[in-house]
């Protein structure tokens, strides 16, 4: 264990890139034993190496969050290796093609719902079962929502619907977890500089039909916020946090 080890185990889904990578590295740097999950083993291995170079503790486990068996295997590994889970960051997600609603393919709609909503449910379900029976009991679940959990961008029905649904899941998990010392919060991010958000810098459609370049913020600000949420004792919880590039068109969007 590194000198900063706090003994806590954190699972980050979608840890091979972007926000998940930054959060996993920051948690590892601050003493968490971090489990990195995502579909691409090579990307996870690269992040695990980076964590180890920072004297952090990271285990890379390939997992497709849309696949119930794959999620069950991930949690079997966590149970066998660590016997507990203190923090789950439900971060894996995808967006869709920016097309008129009638042109959204049914396969794409299902894939977005599977990743952004069903995947979060499958990981939450497994974490809930482990957290309520482990000793010491309880744990923290942090869901990655979005500004799109509040307001849509043009041509984003599937993404927006799933991110709004996450808000309901966050509230339900907070309520149902209360008697087991399981707490749940949500971070709603706006324009963190990752591959997914790179198009903001090139210009994206606005509600009035114009195309506008939008400001981005450093992804490390998100990682620092997630660390702050994770570090709280279970007697306290950030229920919802919105962190965004200050000048992005959200407040006043439209
Ligand atoms: N960047 C922003 O400004 C912003 C704003 C609001 C919300 N968010 C949310 O932040 C999260 C991360 O986004 P990002 O910006 O960091 O983009 P990203 O770099 O594209 O990250 C998405 C991650 O999700 C993983 N993933 C996708 N499908 C998966 C599946 N079926 N099973 C397991 N992992 C899967 C991907 O890894 P594999 O391909 O290896 O599976 C990838 O590492 C998403 O939920 C997104 O909606 C981002």
Q: Does residue 170 line the site of ligand 1, with CB under 6 A?
A: no
- Nearest alpha carbon, ligand 1 atom 42: 14
Q: Which atom of ligand 1 is least distant from the CA of 116?
A: 45
User: What number does the ligand 1 atom closest to the CA of 95 have?
Assistant: 47
| 180 is an active site residue | no
What is the Cα–Cα distance from 39 to 61, expressed in whole angstroms? 9
- Gap from CA of 133 to ligand 1 centroid (Å): 29
Q: For 33-46, how does the pLDDT look when each residue is reduced to its tens digit (9 = 90+)?
A: 999 999 999 999 99
Q: In this predicted structure, what is the pLDDT of residue 3? A: 58
**Helix-helix angle 157-177:119-133, to 10 degrees:** 10
Position in ligand 1 atom list of the atom nearest CA 114: 31
Catalytic residue among 75, 128, 159, 250: 159
The CA 17 to ligand 1 mean position distance, Å, reads: 7
Q: Is 144 in the pocket of ligand 1 (CB under 6 A)?
A: yes
Residue 42 Cβ < 6 Å to ligand 1 = no
9-244 folds as Rossmann fold (3.40.50)
Cβ contacts of 225 within 8 Å, gap of 6 or more: 187, 241, 243
Question: How much is the pLDDT for 7?
Answer: 87
Closest CA to 131 of 73, 186, 75, 58: 75
* Three-class DSSP category at 155: coil
Write out pLDDT tens, residues 57-106: 999 999 999 999 999 999 999 999 999 999 999 999 999 999 999 999 99
Q: What is the dihedral of CA 93, 201, 243, 13, to 10 degrees?
A: 20
**pLDDT of res. 4:** 73
**By the 8 A CB rule, do 225 and 216 touch?**
no
Low-confidence residues in the chain, pLDDT < 70: 1-3, 253-254
Nearest alpha-carbon partner for 88 in 210, 184, 217: 184
Cα–Cα dist 44/34, whole Å: 11
What does the pLDDT read at residue 2?
Answer: 55
Two tokens at 5?
């080890």
Torsion sign (Cα): 81, 83, 88, 93: positive
Evaluate: CB of 139 within 6 angstroms of ligand 1.
no
At residue 209, the pLDDT reads 92
């Amino acid at each position: 264990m590194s000198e900063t080890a706090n003994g806590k185990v954190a699972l980050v889904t979608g840890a091979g890139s972007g926000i998940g990578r930054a959060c996993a590295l920051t948690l590892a740097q601050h003493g968490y034993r971090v489990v990195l999950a995502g579909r691409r083993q090579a990307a996870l291995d690269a992040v695990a190496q980076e964590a180890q170079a920072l004297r952090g503790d990271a285990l890379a486990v390939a997992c497709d969050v849309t696949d119930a068996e794959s999620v069950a295997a991930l949690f079997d590994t966590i149970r066998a290796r660590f016997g507990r889970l203190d923090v789950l960051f439900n971060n894996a997600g995808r967006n869709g093609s920016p097309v008129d609603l009638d042109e959204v393919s049914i396969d794409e709609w299902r894939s977005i719902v599977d990743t952004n909503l069903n995947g979060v449910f499958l990981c939450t379900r497994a974490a809930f079962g482990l957290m309520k029976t482990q000793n010491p009991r309880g744990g923290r679940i942090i869901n990655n929502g979005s500004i799109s959990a509040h307001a849509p961008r043009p041509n984003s029905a599937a993404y927006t619907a799933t991110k709004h649904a996450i808000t309901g899941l966050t509230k339900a998990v907070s309520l149902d977890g209360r008697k087991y010392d399981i707490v749940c919060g949500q971070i709603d991010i706006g324009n963190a500089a990752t591959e997914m958000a790179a198009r903001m810098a090139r210009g994206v459609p606005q509600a009035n039909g114009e195309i506008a370049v939008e400001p981005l913020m450093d992804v490390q600000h998100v990682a620092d916020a997630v660390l702050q949420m994770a570090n709280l004792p279970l007697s306290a919880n950030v229920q919802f946090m919105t962190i965004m590039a200050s000048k992005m068109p959200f407040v006043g969007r439209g």
